[in-house]
Amino acid sequence: MLSQRKPRRRSDTNWPMWELEWDLPAGTSVSEVLARYSTPNLLQKLDEKLDVQVVEHRGMFNLGKGIQECTKTAILSAIGEGHRNLCEIDIALTADGVPIVAHEFNVFRVAALDEDKPVRKFLSHQIVGRPVIIREIENGKISETNYRVTDQTISTLEDILDSAIQVNPDATFILDGRDDEAHLIVAWLSYRSAYFGKVALLFYTFKYIDGDHFVQLVESADPEPRWRQTVPLMPMLFPMEMVRIARDLGHSHPTVDEIYGAAKYWIDSVLAQDICIFAVQTMLSYVSEDTLEDAATEDERLAYRASEASTRLAYYVKFDRDIKEARPNLKLSTGTRSYDFSAVTQGKRLQFHNEFFTGREEAWDTDLRHYIRCRQGTPGIPLLHDLPDLVISDRSEDDMALLAWKSAGVKRRVDVQAPHLDIYDSEEE
């Protein structure tokens, strides 16, 4: 089973620390794999025929080793000693409009602040420079009181980008602007010419009704006049967001066709804008409702319809003639989204992700929707059918190694389990 981040146990934490042990075809070097699947200066090469590009998600964090995600150490580990040229960085805005690097809008999980509230309710001086922590997992819960203080601090985006570009001038960074902050970040980026050609922004459907609405909000944020050409963008549609859009369009019980139609409506409205869009992203699991048995619930059926619609959207973005004519270098992106941790709870090991607005844990669905999660989190699955050009990956080495083995004509086994994220538990000792 291909899994190259090998866990090791430490006595002072239940988080595994990991060491990277590459597993590649004979005669294939690590440097060759990184050069092929993590291309330098990506935004200058969009007109070239490249292999699938694998983007490190949140930096190379190693919680057992004391390296938290979305820190300067994690980012520099990826694009410095890790020799990656592609890295995703999550951002949130403070009350005074300063972008900081954080995966959630509430930094409870990574900092012990005086108040438990969203980043946007802190002034920058109240949060920037505060020590970053790693909370222990106890009975499947992120601990309120049991944590280690690291040597890292909460950093501004500008600080991390400036440091990272100095370490690797050829690196490309995909910023993740969530909720209703993306248009403000576009304006912020538009005035920073040092980042032109090096930094792109991913944004979502959540608060942007359509392409017109997004552009209007960017313009209201007083961007530099050339922003339409200087800030590369990647609109993202989650499958269940496609369902929400379909409902907003009047489909109370949407079919696959109606979900796909809603997604197509939204992305067409964005692609119609005179703005720089270098890629479109959606999550891919390649499942459909016709695989379900009669006993499946409506929620399960809806999730499978949404997944099928996302596959149809991917084919549309990739192969539609009108899109290709208007945007010949447009890329299709997806994600390998692992669980944030797994832990034994009441005798059973479950997978969890970190809830975006609270920073607390939230268990993965355990019904038929679990299969979709597992496929989205298994390296190689989102890349089936040679469809995506780009993958933002929680298991970047495994995605790259699978591509290398595939190129060598060998199919390797891989599954959703990520041992370096599996919490050690006394029940299993």
Domain boundaries, the chain: 5-428
23-44: per-residue pLDDT in tens? 999 999 999 999 999 999 999 9
Confidence of residue 426 (pLDDT cuts 50, 70, 90): low
Report residue 223 CA to chain centroid gap: 26
Q: Given this model, what pLDDT does residue 346 score? A: 87
Q: How far is 99 from 307, CA to CA, in rounded Å?
A: 32
Mean pLDDT of the residues in the chain: 97
Q: Given this model, what pLDDT does residue 248 score? A: 98
204-215: per-residue pLDDT in tens? 999 999 999 999
Please state the rounded mean pLDDT for residues 236-253.
Answer: 98
How much is the pTM? Answer: 0.97
Q: Given this model, what pLDDT does residue 162 score? A: 99
DSSP string over 364-411: PP-STHHHHHHHHTSTTSTTGGG--SEEEESSHHHHHHHHHHHHTT-P
Q: What is the third-level CATH fold of 5-428?
A: TIM Barrel (3.20.20)
Q: How far is 95 from 77, CA to CA, in rounded Å?
A: 29
Please state the rounded mean pLDDT for residues 162-167.
Answer: 98
* Residue 28 near residue 404, CB atoms below 8 Å: yes
Q: Is residue 427 over pLDDT 60?
A: no
Gap between the terminal Cα atoms of the chain: 22
Q: Given this model, what pLDDT does residue 362 score? A: 98
Identify which of 335, 322, 226, 321 has the alpha carbon closest to the alpha carbon of residue 280. Answer: 335
Confidence of residue 429 (pLDDT cuts 50, 70, 90): very low
